[in-house]
A = this chain, B = another copy of it.
Amino acid sequence: MDEHEFERAIAVQPTGYPGGYASLMTSGWTIPGGAINGGVTLATAANALARQFAVEGPHVDPVCVSAYYLAAAMPGPAECRAEVLRSGASLSTGQVGLWQNDAHGTPVERLRALATFGNLDAIVGDVQTSAQPPELPDPGDCRDLSQLSATLDDTEVMRRYDVLLDPATSGWLEGAPSGRGHMRAWFRMKDGYQPTPLLLLQAVDALPPVAYDLGVSGWVPTLELTVHVRARPVPGWLRISLTTVNFAGGLLEEDAQVWDSSGRLVAQGRQLAKVIRRRPEGRRD
Write the residues of chain A forming the contact surface with B, with a CB cutoff of 8 angstroms.
Answer: 63-64, 66, 68, 70-71, 85-86, 88-91, 93, 95, 109, 112-116, 123-131, 180-181, 214, 223-224, 226, 228, 230-231, 245-251, 253, 265, 268, 270, 272, 283, 285
A86 partner residues in chain B, CB cutoff 8 A: 70-71, 109
Contact between B230 and A246, CB atoms less than 8 A apart: yes
* Cβ 8 A contact of A250, one of B123, B131, B248: B123
Interface of A, secondary structure class, is strand
A130 partner residues in chain B, CB cutoff 8 A: 180-181, 245-246
Contact between A249 and B124, CB atoms less than 8 A apart: yes
Q: How many copies does the complex hold?
A: 2
Bound complex: CA A114 to CA B112 (Å): 8
Of all chain B residues, the one with the shortest Cβ separation from A211 is B128
A268 partner residues in chain B, CB cutoff 8 A: 246, 253, 270
A93 partner residues in chain B, CB cutoff 8 A: 68, 70, 112
Contact between A64 and B224, CB atoms less than 8 A apart: yes
Smallest beta-carbon distance A254→chain B, Å: 11
Of all chain B residues, the one with the shortest Cβ separation from A243 is B130
**A109-B85, A248-B231 known; A128 vs B214 contact (CB < 8 Å):** yes
Contact between B246 and A91, CB atoms less than 8 A apart: no
Contact between A127 and B247, CB atoms less than 8 A apart: yes
* Cβ 8 A contact of A270, one of B71, B91, B248, B270: B270
Smallest beta-carbon distance A220→chain B, Å: 14
A180 partner residues in chain B, CB cutoff 8 A: 130
Contact between B223 and A129, CB atoms less than 8 A apart: no
Contact between A228 and B253, CB atoms less than 8 A apart: yes
Bound complex: CA A258 to CA B88 (Å): 32
